[in-house]
């Protein structure tokens, strides 16, 4: 039975030796691979073949890894289920009637099914952590600026990071070590990742670790998810961690702020898809604007159109102050709340997803319901912080993920805490 | 309901700004969905203003010549080219 985890299966050999020699990696299809098509899950880029490698792909190859293919994803990363892909949905290997989560659903499914040792995903509002949680694997969203975005097809630049998915915390940390660090091609990368190690932090030692639990991220969750989450916290406490509740009032506005900012950035980023430099050959007719509009009607799916239009609306005259400016205020407010909470705690813990994996087709007709499922993951992107999703157990036979959020560039602490959950 | 009701006319206007053609079904469907989503966004109204100072500096480098894509590589994905240029529709 095929899970449809890959859009393109293609072997790209890496160097003969290196820390990932003999290991296989699946790469999300919005990360450029020289000579191998990179579709972003969109008909718009069905035949697009990048003339260069993304920095992370170059680093994988130098580390000796073998790339085994390009994984399925929600179109341009816009979705929580991998069902908005123009190439059809990916199935969850744990239960094939369910979605793998998204948008990096193909990457998580490939790792969970053993079709690759590791995978790269991208996380703009939870797109690594959600599928990691739904498929029962580990996923890390790095601090903004830790990993180069050069060669990543942009959706919302100020929010997204490339990160690892793997069966275990230590392996995810291994992959993070390879891809992290400054890059002259991405001016938003920082020095902090230069010689950092992460895998050696996976020692399971949580003695005295202060864990804050934001009540707002637990209250709205499914009871079965909360029960699994609380069992996992009790286990950490038994290992010596200290648990306390915290309150982050700004989190109640995070989903709104996230979608306004992400859609606004998307409306600008996706303006480049005009069918001239790349894009499908169509029989569009008329002047530049008319042709442009026809190519985009054909090339983009519903969710992408929705986000471009809402982003255009949020930035348009008369609405900019009401939506975009207020969303930036909410982002600053949220950062302040996280700073305060992380002054009293080493990590913050919550369920990664407030729900169990959806049935295939369940959430497609109601976009707002789908956006609300991102409530626990989007605050982390708005605050530029690192977070990991680690399997916490199962409810009704389906995986539940525990999310651990750390301070900026403190990936070692979330790796350490997560390794005690396994 | 939203303080900013969305009708089909408004969806068409935004689609025009964004250069995306929509068929009638899409316009009607989006008008209903946008009303829901924008009503939800109204919760941003009560967000307080927060003093936010980014501890960041611009990253600059010398403006020196480096290797880039060849003309052939840059044109490889274009549906239409002519004499080494991208070929687009007429502007007006």
Map out the domains of chain A as residue ranges. 6-249+333-419
Which of A49, A316, A331 minimises the CB distance to B76?
A49
> What number is the average pLDDT over the span A125-133?
98
Cα separation, A84 vs A99, in Å, equals 11
pLDDT at res. B4 = 55
Q: Which residue has the tokens 């089909």?
A: B8
Q: Nearest to residue A170, comparing CAs of A137, A213, A131?
A: A137
- Match 């687009």 to its residue by tokens: B88
**Residues of chain B with C-beta less than 8 angstroms from the C-beta of A274:** 19, 88
Percent residues over pLDDT 90 in chain A: 94
Share of chain A above pLDDT 70, in %: 100
**Is residue B86 within 8 angstroms of chain A, CB to CB?**
yes
Question: pLDDT band for position A415 (50/70/90)?
Answer: very high
Contact residues on chain A for B19, CB-CB shorter than 8 A: 271, 274, 289, 292-293, 296
What CATH number labels A6-249+333-419? 3.90.1300.10
% of chain B beyond a pLDDT of 70: 95
Contact A286, B89 (CB under 8 A): yes
pLDDT at B57: 83
Q: Within an 8 Å CB–CB cutoff, is residue B32 touching chain A?
A: no
Residues in chain A within 8 Å Cβ distance of B37: 259, 310, 367-368, 371
> Which one of A283, A332, A365, A372 would you mutate to disrupt binding with B, by most B Cβ within 10 Å of its Cβ?
A332
Q: How far apart are CA A188 and CA A92, in angstroms?
A: 34
Q: Rounded mean pLDDT of A222-226? A: 98
**Listing from the earlier edge strand, what are the strands of the sheet with A6-12?**
A6-12, A66-71, A24-28, A118-123, A161-166, A138-141, A387-395, A398-405, A347-351, A210-214, A242-246
Helix or strand holding residue A173 (H, E): helix A169-179
Cβ distance A390 to A401 under 8 Å? yes
User: Three-state SS for A280?
Assistant: coil
Does B78 sit within 8 Å of A333, measured CB to CB?
no
CB contact under 8 A, B89 and A48: no
For residue B41, what is the nearest residue in chain A, using CA coordinates?
A256
Longest C-alpha distance within chain A, in Å? 69
A265-310 confidence digits (pLDDT tens): 999 999 999 999 988 888 888 898 999 999 999 999 999 999 999 9
pLDDT bin (cut points 50, 70, 90) of residue B90 is confident
Distance in angstroms (rounded) separating the CA atoms of residues A130 and A138: 10
Contact B89 A253 (CB under 8 A): no
What confidence tens digit (pLDDT) does each residue in A167-219 have? 999 999 999 999 999 999 999 999 998 999 999 999 999 999 999 999 999 99
Is the pLDDT at A420 greater than 70, yes or no?
Answer: yes
Please give the average per-residue pLDDT across B19-48, as a whole number: 95
CB-based contact A67:A54 (threshold 8 Å):
no
In contact, A133 and A353? CB cutoff 8 Å: yes
- Chain A touched by B85 (CB under 8 Å): no
Model-level pTM?
Answer: 0.97
CA of B38 vs chain A CAs: smallest distance (Å)? 9
Chain B interface disruption, residue of A33, A185, A309, most B CBs within 10 A:
A309
b vs e for A133-156, b when ≥16 Cβ sit within 10 Å of the residue's Cβ? bbbbbbbbbbbbbbbbbbbbbbbb
Domains of chain B: 8-45 (1.10.20)
Per the structure block, which two tokens stand in for A336? 């302040």
- Contact (CB, 8 A) for A193 and A147: yes
- Of all residues in chain A, what percent are helix, strand and coil, respectively (each to 5)? 40, 20, 45
Mean pLDDT over each residue of chain A, to the nearest integer: 96
Residue with the two structure tokens 């913050």: A348
Q: Decide if A127 is catalytic.
A: yes
Give residue B5's pLDDT.
67
Calpha distance A54→A31 (Å, rounded): 6
User: Is A210 within 8 Å of A242 (Cβ atoms)?
Assistant: yes
Contact between chains at B47 and A253 (C-beta distance less than 8 A): yes
Q: Output the CA torsion sign for A215, A218, A219, A224.
A: negative
Active site residue A97: no
Which residues in chain A have their CB less than 8 angstroms from residue B16's CB? Answer: 293
Cα of A125 to nearest chain B Cα, Å: 17
Phi-psi region of A77 (alpha: psi -120 to 50; beta: other; left: phi over 0): left
CB-based contacts of A71, cutoff 8 Å, min separation 6:
A5, A6, A7, A26, A27, A28, A29, A104, A105, A106, A107, A109, A110, A119, A121
Average of per-residue pLDDT across A116-123: 98
In the beta sheet, which residues pair with residue A24?
Answer: A66
pLDDT at residue number B1: 43
Distance from CA of B23 to the nearest CA of A (A): 9
Measured in degrees and rounded to the nearest 5, phi and psi for residue A165 equal: -125, 140
- A1 pLDDT exceeds 70? no
How many C-beta atoms surround the C-beta of residue A59 within 10 A? 23
Each residue's pLDDT tens digit, A20-67:
999 999 999 999 999 999 999 999 999 999 999 999 999 999 999 999
Catalytic site includes residue A363 = no
Model confidence pLDDT, tens digit, residues B64-85:
998 899 999 999 999 999 999 9
Quick one: pLDDT at residue A401? Answer: 98
Which tens digits make up the pLDDT trace of A308-365? 999 999 999 899 999 999 999 999 999 999 999 999 999 999 999 999 999 999 987 8
- Of A85, A103, A267, A419, the catalytic one is A103
Q: For residue A269, give both structure tokens.
A: 């980023």
């Amino acid at each position: 039975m095929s899970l449809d985890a890959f859009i393109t299966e293609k072997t790209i050999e890496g160097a003969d030796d290196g820390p990932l020699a003999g290991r296989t990696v699946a790469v999300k299809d919005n990360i450029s691979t020289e000579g191998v098509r990179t579709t972003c899950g969109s008909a718009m880029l069905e035949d697009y073949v990048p003339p260069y490698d993304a920095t992370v792909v170059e680093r994988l190859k130098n580390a000796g890894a073998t790339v085994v293919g390009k994984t399925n994803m929600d179109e341009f990363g816009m979705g929580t289920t991998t069902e908005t892909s123009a190439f059809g949905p990916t199935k969850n290997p744990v239960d094939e009637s369910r979605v793998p989560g998204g948008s990096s659903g193909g990457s998580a499914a490939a790792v969970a099914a053993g079709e690759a040792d590791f995978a790269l995903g991208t996380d703009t509002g939870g797109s690594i952590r959600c599928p990691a949680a739904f498929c029962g694997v580990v996923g890390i969203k790095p601090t903004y600026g830790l990993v180069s975005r050069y060669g990543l097809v942009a959706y919302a630049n100020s929010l997204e990071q490339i990160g690892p998915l793997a069966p275990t915390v230590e392996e995810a940390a291994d992959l993070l070590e390879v891809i992290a660090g400054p890059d002259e091609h991405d001016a938003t990368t920082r020095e902090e990742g230069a010689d950092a190690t992460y895998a050696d932090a996976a020692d399971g030692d949580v003695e005295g670790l202060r864990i804050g639990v934001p009540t707002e991220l637990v209250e709205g969750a499914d009871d079965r998810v909360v029960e699994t989450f609380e069992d996992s916290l009790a286990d950490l406490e038994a290992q010596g961690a200290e648990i306390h509740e915290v309150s982050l009032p700004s989190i109640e506005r995070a989903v709104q702020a996230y979608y306004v900012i992400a859609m606004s950035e998307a409306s600008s980023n996706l303006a480049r898809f005009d069918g001239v430099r790349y894009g499908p050959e169509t029989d569009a007719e008329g002047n530049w604007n008319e042709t442009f509009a026809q190519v985009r009607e054909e090339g983009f799916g519903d969710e992408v159109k929705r986000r471009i239009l809402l982003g255009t609306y949020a930035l348009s005259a008369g609405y900019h102050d009401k939506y975009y400016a207020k969303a930036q205020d909410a982002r600053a407010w949220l950062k302040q709340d996280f700073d305060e909470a992380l002054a009293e705690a080493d990590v913050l813990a919550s369920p990664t997803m407030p729900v169990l994996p959806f049935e295939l087709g369940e959430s497609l007709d109601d976009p707002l319901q789908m956006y609300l499922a991102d409530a626990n993951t989007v605050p982390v992107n708005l605050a530029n912080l690192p977070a990991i999703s680690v399997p916490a157990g199962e409810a009704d036979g389906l995986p539940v993920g525990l999310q651990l959020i750390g301070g900026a560039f403190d990936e070692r602490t979330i790796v350490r805490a997560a390794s005690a959950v396994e | 309901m939203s303080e900013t009701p969305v009708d089909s006319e408004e969806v068409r206007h935004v689609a025009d700004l964004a250069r995306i053609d929509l068929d009638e079904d899409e316009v009607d469907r989006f008008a209903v969905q946008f009303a829901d989503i924008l009503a939800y966004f109204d919760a941003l109204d009560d967000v307080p203003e927060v003093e936010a100072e980014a501890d960041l500096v611009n990253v600059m480098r010398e403006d020196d010549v480096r290797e880039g894509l060849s003309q052939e590589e840059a044109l490889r994905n274009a549906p239409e080219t002519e004499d080494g240029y991208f070929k687009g529709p007429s502007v007006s």
